[in-house]
Amino acid sequence: AHVKPDTTTPRSPAQDLASKETGAALSPAFLGANLFTDDKMRQAAPTAYSELEVARTTGAPLSRKVKDEIAKAMMDWAVKRGAVNFAHWFSPMRGVNAQKHDGFMDLDFSSPSVLKPMRKDFDGTKLFMAETDGSSFPNGGLRFTHTAAAFNSWDMKSPPFVRGETMYIPSCFVAWTGMALDEKTPLLRSMAAINEQGKRLLGLIGEKSIAEVRTFVGWEQEFFVVSKEAYLRRPDLMMCNRTVIGAPPPANQQLELGYFGPMPNAVARYCEALQKELWLLGCPMTTYHNEVAPGQHELAPIFSVSNVAVDQNMMCMELMQSLADMHGLYICFHEKPFKGVNGNGKHNNWSVQGILSSPGGGSVNMMKPGKAEQDQVRFMVATACLARGIKMHGDVVRCACIGAGNDHRLGAQEAPPAIMSLFPGVAVEAHMHAIVKGGPLTGYTGEQKALKYGCNNTQEITVNAEDRNRTAPFPHCGNRFEFRAVGGPANMAHANTLINTVLADSFCAWSDLVEGGLSPRDATAKILEESISAVFTGNGYDPEWPKIAVEERGLLNLHNTVTALDTFASEKNQELFSKHGVYLPEEVKARADVMFEKYFLTISIETKTMIEMINTALVPACAKDLKTYEGTALAGKRPALYASLLDAVAALEAAYDAIPHADVQTEAHYVSDALVPAMAAVRKVADEIEVVMEKGVYPFPTYLELLTGH
Ligand code: ADP
Ligand code: MG
């Protein structure tokens, strides 16, 4: 059947841009126009929808008929929105999403003599299951070439969307054995654990009418914008997404002019187009602004349920890069692309809410204190549980923010230190101590206060009970905790899987105590007694803090990726993850291997890139520069400096050649111990050379061009 294209809802500005039409200004009609929302599904297939609604909560199987009806409704809608293909869209353990486009079109073989195209039946079988090769994705030994089968299935709580000419189906990705090969599956399992343990805990403090406990995420994405033209002349940006050499210009961010400053024109136009695209896809981007570093910016949508938020973030990063291409720009998400200025984080605003079963719903936010006694109790219990999670499983929380890129960032600039602690606020900390000493759970309301500041031209401002603490990895922000340590390019499913699991485990431990006979107060006091040392409201950048944290409080300071990863597959953690149905022991070990391998490969590629850039471009430039100045009074430090570059790069090459062929853990430790410092030594000389060498001879675009040249 021929389906007429839908011309009543807005078109994609990217299409408009391509065809040189002017895009319409953002309006409410944009929101979700290219998203197959529940409303659309309900309208197109009401009976099938109501069965799906039940099945996606209970896990009950759907009949073939229902699956087919949903698939048909989905395809009809997608074709109207301009789709000719579909793709299961999923998150292998590699950082970027995967997709395989498959046509809605087929050939009609009823009359073999003529080529006759026809619409293929996109049925339930195709929607709910796609088979592929699991051995070609990172899998930590869970798949081999001779045992490779792996499958996609639609995450029914994350709606499909149309982008360009393809309908994307957000999916899980699992092996033939049922083990997870992706980031999404464990996230969904961790959300189920929070649901189970959260309902149990809320029931024990008298909240019986909770239908479901959900986790929510509101992400903030930081990024750098570089002109595409300059990017194409930086092999390090192209290979590693960061500069491995490069001297910061004399004025970078120290004047503090960047944050919230006026945006460069090209970036402002880009953000406007991006905002429309994101709204079309159902991701309500509401804020964007300049960040601290030159060339750096941030954007954030309104928060949503964790799995949807994570999908939106992955979609956003994909979209940002492809849209940037059309604007002649390149987007850099790396945690530390440029030395000497801030790096990119992805703040993970996180709350846990009980959805009420009463008709009309409503919810209770476990991370928001309040005037009512019940709100105070709920908040204190949940916050105590979070403190326990961070204290008992600080290693797991630390593994939520590992990576070669984050090693440059954690503990530096304004990013949080590598010690995992909780900042619930100064008054909350005092209240926690009072509970340990026998005080009641109630008493902390988090009441906002009126701020007067001495001028009559303005009104007083109502502010949160607590100040901001940007040195803490886990500050409280009024109605949520913000996990600030996640890296800019990360798939947030990983971090959320881990923090959900440690919190679910603490909900469980608290509930065990209460079911074992303790009062909620006593259970909370007991938990706090053991974990209040993870609560820290001071300055996380204080040089004394690591010492106090480790020696006096028994917290972990896992200062880099490899030391953090050494802890991941411990027996304690295998037990933790399998207890809550998040990972089987084999899956924990496989993840650790994948993370070690990714680290090893990243450092190896950076090293190789650096060696090539030095040998093929910087060394020849040095020779050229020497030719001009050698033997003259103007040679200055050139000869000595250029010679020391050769020594440093030779040492790096020797270290690279000595990489052991061993297990991934050993290899990762080797590159961390040997290559990282050797690269730093090369960089030190290369960056000194950059500021000595004659302008124009330096073979790469400089920081000035990269950070401000667009
Ligand atoms: P800030 O300037 O404090 O960093 P932003 O406005 O940039 O704040 O981002 C805050 C993010 O937190 C937004 O994505 C917002 O939707 C999200 N958020 C707000 N309330 C909650 C909540 N209860 N749970 C999760 N995320 C939330
Ligand atoms: Mg922000």
Q: What is the pLDDT of residue 16?
A: 46
**CA 382 to ligand 1 centroid distance, Å:** 19
Q: What is the pLDDT of residue 21?
A: 35
Q: What is the pLDDT of residue 360?
A: 80
**Rg of the chain taking only CA atoms, in angstroms:** 27
Other beta carbons within 10 Å of 118: 12
**CA 666 to ligand 1 centroid distance, Å:** 40
Tokens found for residue 459: 């009104």
Contact 408, 343 (CB under 8 A): yes
Fold of 190-596: Creatine Kinase; Chain A, domain 2 (3.30.590)
**CA 94 to ligand 2 centroid distance, Å:** 27
Minimum-distance ligand 1 atom for the alpha carbon of 365: 23
Three-state DSSP class for residue 490? coil
Using H for helix, E for strand and C for coil, what is the string for 262-313? CCCHHHHHHHHHHHHHHHHCCCCEEEEEECCCCCEEEEEECCEEHHHHHHHH
Nearest ligand to the C-alpha atom of residue 364: 1
82: left (phi over 0), alpha (psi -120 to 50) or beta: left
Q: Whose CA is nearest to atom 17 of ligand 1?
A: 218
Q: What share of the chain is helix, strand, coil (3-state, %, to 5)?
A: 45, 15, 40
Q: What is the pLDDT of residue 18?
A: 37
Q: What is the pLDDT of residue 23?
A: 62
Top-confidence residue, 65 or 454 = 65
Minimum-distance ligand 1 atom for the alpha carbon of 300: 14
Other beta carbons within 10 Å of 535: 24
**CA 616 to ligand 1 centroid distance, Å:** 46
At 410, is the pLDDT very low, low, confident or very high (cuts 50, 70, 90)? confident
Q: What is the pLDDT of residue 528?
A: 98
Contact 478, 383 (CB under 8 A): no
Cα–Cα distance list, 261 to 253, 288, 547 (Å)? 12, 11, 37
- Would the pLDDT of 414 be above 80? no
269-284 pLDDT, tens digit per residue, is 999 999 999 999 999 9
At 417, is the pLDDT very low, low, confident or very high (cuts 50, 70, 90)? confident
| Those residues with Cβ within 8 angstroms of residue 65's Cβ, 6 or more apart along the chain or in another chain | 48
Three-state DSSP class for residue 260? coil
Residues with CB under 6 A from ligand 1: 216-218, 220, 287, 300, 302-303, 347, 349-351, 365, 479-480
Three-state DSSP class for residue 225? strand
Residue 213 CA to residue 191 CA, distance in Å, equals 8
- Would the pLDDT of 293 be above 70? yes
At 6, is the pLDDT very low, low, confident or very high (cuts 50, 70, 90)? low
Q: What is the mean pLDDT of the chain?
A: 92
Please give the torsion angle defined by the CA atoms of residues 6, 7, 8 and 13, in that order, rounded to the nearest 10 degrees.
Answer: 110
203-257 pLDDT, tens digit per residue, is 999 998 999 999 999 999 999 999 999 999 999 999 999 999 999 987 777 766 6
561-605 pLDDT, tens digit per residue, is 999 999 999 999 999 999 999 999 999 999 999 999 999 999 999
Averaged pLDDT, 96-103: 91
- Would the pLDDT of 162 be above 50? yes
- Indicate the domain borders of the chain: 13-181, 190-596, 597-708
Q: What is the pLDDT of residue 13?
A: 53
Q: What is the pLDDT of residue 19?
A: 36
Q: How many helices (H) and strands (E) does the chain have?
A: 24, 19
Nearest ligand to the C-alpha atom of residue 365: 1
CATH class of the domain defined by 597-708: mainly alpha
Q: Whose CA is nearest to atom 12 of ligand 1?
A: 218
Fold of 13-181: Ubiquitin-like (UB roll) (3.10.20)
Nearest ligand to the C-alpha atom of residue 480: 1
- The residue behind tokens 């409080």 is 553
- Would the pLDDT of 332 be above 50? yes
| Those residues with Cβ within 8 angstroms of residue 446's Cβ, 6 or more apart along the chain or in another chain | 368, 369, 370, 379, 425, 428, 464, 465, 466, 478
Quickly list DSSP for 495-535: HHHHHHHHHHHHHHHHHHHHHTT--HHHHHHHHHHHHGGGB
The neighbouring-strand residues paired with 213 are 354
Q: Classify strands 166-175 and 105-107 as parallel, antiparallel or unpaired.
A: unpaired
Length of the chain: 710
**CA 23 to ligand 2 centroid distance, Å:** 27
Residue 471 CA to residue 667 CA, distance in Å, equals 32
Which run of H or E residues covers position 647? Answer: helix 638-657
Nearest ligand to the C-alpha atom of residue 496: 1
The neighbouring-strand residues paired with 499 are none
- The residue behind tokens 């961070």 is 390
68-77, 157-166, 178-187, 284-293: which range is least confident on average? 284-293
105-139 pLDDT, tens digit per residue, is 888 888 777 788 777 778 999 999 999 989 989 99
**CA 300 to ligand 1 centroid distance, Å:** 8
Q: Which of 363, 53, 60, 352 is nearest to 197 (CA)?
A: 352
39-97 pLDDT, tens digit per residue, is 999 999 999 999 999 999 889 999 999 999 999 999 999 999 999 999 999 999 988 89
Q: State which of 220, 286, 365 you would mutate to test the pocket of ligand 1, scoring each by most atoms of that ligand within 8 A of its C-beta.
A: 220
Minimum-distance ligand 1 atom for the alpha carbon of 367: 23
User: Quick one: how far is CA 223 from the chain centroid?
Assistant: 12
Q: Whose CA is nearest to atom 4 of ligand 1?
A: 220
Q: State which of 303, 379, 466, 468 you would mutate to test the pocket of ligand 1, scoring each by most atoms of that ligand within 8 A of its C-beta.
A: 303
Top-confidence residue, 260 or 675 = 675
**CA 426 to ligand 1 centroid distance, Å:** 21
Tokens found for residue 171: 């999916």
Residue 583 CA to residue 590 CA, distance in Å, equals 10
Contact 677, 622 (CB under 8 A): no
- Would the pLDDT of 287 be above 70? yes
**CA 573 to ligand 2 centroid distance, Å:** 33
User: Quick one: how far is CA 116 from the chain centroid?
Assistant: 45
Task: For CA atoms 694, 699, 705, 709, give the dihedral sign.
Answer: positive
